[in-house]
Structure 1
Amino acid sequence: MLTKSSPISTQSNLFHSELFSQLDVKDPLIQLANTINWTVFDDAFEQHYSQDNGRPSKPIRLMVGLLLLKQLENLSDERVVLQFKRNPYYQYFCGYSNYMPGMPCNATELVHFRKRIGVKGFNLIFKMSVALHGKQAQESTVLIDTTVQEKNITYPTMPNLPLKSSIALISWQSVMAFNNAEPMLKRLKTAALAFVTSVMLKSVPKQESFNTPENHCQQTHRELQRKLPTHSLFETYQKDFLFYQQVLAQQPKDKNKIYSLHEPDVYVIAKGKDHKQYEYGNKVSIVSTKDTNIIVGVASHDKNIHDSKTLTVAISHANSNRNKPIKQAVCDRGYVGAKIVLGANIILPKKALKRDNRYQRDKKRKLCKRRAAIEPIIGHLKSDFRLSRNLLKGQVGDELMF
Structure 2
Amino acid sequence: MYRKQKQQDTQAEEFELPFGGKLAADNRWVILAKIIPWTEFVAEYAAIFTEVLGAPAKTFRMALGALIIKEKLGTSDRETVEQIRENPYLQYFIGMSAYSNHSPFDPSMLVHFRERIDMNLVNRLNQKIVKQVLESQEEEEVKAKKSEVEDSKSEVKNRGKLILDASCAPADISYPTDLGLLNQARKHTETIIDILYNSVKVKNSNKPRTYRKIARKEYLLVARKKKVKSAERRKAIKKQLQYIKRNLAYIQQLMNAGASLLELSNRQYKMLLVVAEVYRQQLWLYEHEKRSIEDRIVSLSQPHIRPIVRGKAAKNTEFGAKFSASYFNGYVFLDHISWDNFNESGDLKSQVEAYKNYTGYYPESVHVDKIYRNRENRDWCKERGIRISGPPLGRPPKNVSKETKKQAQEDERIRNSIEGKFGQGKRRFSLGRVMAKLPHTSLTSIAISFLVMNLSTLLSRLLWGFFCQFFRITSFFPWFISEIDYLVKFRQQKLIFISA
The Cα shift of 1:333 comes to 0.7
Q: 2:131 maps to what in 1?
A: 131
Q: 1:177-219: CA deviations, max 9, x gaps?
A: 174456533332232233334x348699969987843442233
Provide the rounded CA distance (Å) in 2 between the counterparts of 1:208 and 1:60: 53
* Residues 1:350 and 2:391 are matched in the alignment: yes
**Candidates 226, 234, 255, aligned match of 2:293:** 255
Provide the rounded CA distance (Å) in 1 between the counterparts of 2:220 and 2:342: 39
CA contact (8 A) 2:12 2:92 kept: no
Q: 1:218-241: CA deviations, max 9, x gaps?
A: 333454456656766479968446
CA contact (8 A) 2:356 2:362 kept: yes
Residue identity opposite 2:107 in structure 1: A
**Cα 1:325–1:247 shift into 2, 3 Å:** farther
Q: 1:189 maps to what in 2?
A: 216
* Residues 1:388 and 2:432 are matched in the alignment: yes
List aligned pairs for 1:1-16, cutoff 5 A.
1-3=1-3, 4=5, 7-9=8-10
Deviates more, 1:163-172 or 1:210-219: 210-219
**Cα 1:314–1:239 shift into 2, 3 Å:** farther
The Cα shift of 1:373 comes to 1.5
Q: 2:280 maps to what in 1?
A: 246
* Residues 1:300 and 2:337 are matched in the alignment: yes
* Residues 1:311 and 2:355 are matched in the alignment: no
Q: 1:280 maps to what in 2?
A: 319
Q: Percent identity?
A: 19
Provide the rounded CA distance (Å) in 2 between the counterparts of 1:297 and 1:208: 42
Residue identity opposite 1:9 in structure 2: T
TM-score by length of 1: 0.83
The Cα shift of 1:81 comes to 1.3
Q: 1:325-370: CA deviations, max 9, x gaps?
A: 543421011223232379684714114998x998787556533431
CA contact (8 A) 2:65 2:93 kept: yes
Provide the rounded CA distance (Å) in 1 between the counterparts of 2:181 and 2:233: 22
CA contact (8 A) 1:20 1:97 kept: no
CA contact (8 A) 1:77 1:107 kept: yes
Residue identity opposite 1:300 in structure 2: I
Residue ranges of structure 2 left out of the alignment (5+ in a row): 139-158, 447-500
**Cα 1:47–1:204 shift into 2, 3 Å:** closer
Provide the rounded CA distance (Å) in 2 between the counterparts of 1:140 and 1:122: 25
Provide the rounded CA distance (Å) in 1 between the counterparts of 2:426 and 2:105: 27
Deviates more, 1:214-223 or 1:165-174: 214-223
Residue ranges of structure 1 left out of the alignment (5+ in a row): none
List aligned pairs for 1:306-385, cutoff 5 A.
306-312=343-349, 314-315=351-352, 322-327=358-363, 328-337=365-374, 338-339=377-378, 340=380, 345=386, 347-351=388-392, 363=407, 366-385=410-429
Deviates more, 1:91-100 or 1:207-216: 207-216
TM-score by length of 2: 0.68
CA contact (8 A) 2:307 2:320 kept: yes
Provide the rounded CA distance (Å) in 2 between the counterparts of 1:371 and 1:96: 42
Q: 1:218 maps to what in 2?
A: 245
**Cα 1:60–1:260 shift into 2, 3 Å:** same
Structure number with higher helix proportion: 2
| 2:80 counterpart SS class | helix
Deviates more, 1:245-254 or 1:340-349: 340-349
**Cα 1:90–1:182 shift into 2, 3 Å:** farther
Residue identity opposite 1:161 in structure 2: L
The Cα shift of 1:173 comes to 1.5
CA contact (8 A) 1:285 1:314 kept: no
| 1:349 counterpart SS class | coil
| 1:26 counterpart SS class | coil
Provide the rounded CA distance (Å) in 2 between the counterparts of 1:288 and 1:11: 33
The Cα shift of 1:269 comes to 2.6
| 1:42 counterpart SS class | helix
Select the structure of larger CA radius of gyration. 2
The Cα shift of 1:57 comes to 1.9
**Cα 1:234–1:313 shift into 2, 3 Å:** farther
The Cα shift of 1:123 comes to 2.6
Provide the rounded CA distance (Å) in 1 between the counterparts of 2:240 and 2:347: 39
The Cα shift of 1:246 comes to 2.1
Residue identity opposite 1:7 in structure 2: Q
| 1:390 counterpart SS class | coil
The Cα shift of 1:393 comes to 3.0
* Residues 1:171 and 2:191 are matched in the alignment: yes
CA contact (8 A) 1:20 1:92 kept: no
**Cα 1:344–1:169 shift into 2, 3 Å:** farther
**Cα 1:259–1:343 shift into 2, 3 Å:** farther
CA contact (8 A) 1:142 1:326 kept: no
CA contact (8 A) 1:6 1:95 kept: no
**Cα 1:19–1:392 shift into 2, 3 Å:** farther
* Residues 1:157 and 2:177 are matched in the alignment: yes
| 1:159 counterpart SS class | helix
Deviates more, 1:309-318 or 1:233-242: 233-242
Q: 2:307 maps to what in 1?
A: 268
The Cα shift of 1:85 comes to 0.9
Residue identity opposite 2:180 in structure 1: N
Residue identity opposite 2:174 in structure 1: T
Query: What is the root-mean-square deviation of aligned Cα atoms in Å?
Result: 3.8
